[in-house]
Amino acid sequence: MKVEGAYVFSAPPEQVWALLMDPENLRTCIPGVQTLTETAPDHWDAVLKVGVGTIRGTYKSTVAIVEKSEPTAYTLQVQGTGGPGFVKGTARITLEPDGDSATRVSVDGDGQVGGTVAGVGQRMLGGVAKMLMNQFFECLKGKLPS
């Protein structure tokens, strides 16, 4: 399952990078996060409560930020398992200036989903993934100073 998106922030790349690297922003902006516990630099254990349609569940997950090239790019790795199945994915996040004082954040991701959630909601998964990604980035935009 491919997931792509682009978001424009009204701030320079260094400021947007800092937003994306702040664990408290991740905790408050990742949809469905119940807990986010740092286990090593740029590595977290998370508990997420999410669902597709009527298939909802709690996932124990690991989240890692790797291949960092501050402040222009990094790779996000996510793995999770729960009652409804599993999810595993990676996304390359790139930041580039967009005019004088804005940053374009591009996401190019690929994920796999298995178990009940995949069987029941396969057609809906791409749309749900895009919706959750949009919620995350809109939340982050709200963290910028006015």
CB atoms within 10 A of CB 143: 15
- Residue ranges per structural domain of the chain: 2-141
User: How far is 107 from 75, CA to CA, in rounded Å?
Assistant: 10
User: How far is 4 from 25, CA to CA, in rounded Å?
Assistant: 21
Domain over 2-141 is classified CATH 3.30.530.20? yes
Q: Whole-model pTM?
A: 0.88
Each residue's pLDDT tens digit, 112-143: 888 876 676 566 777 778 888 999 999 999 99
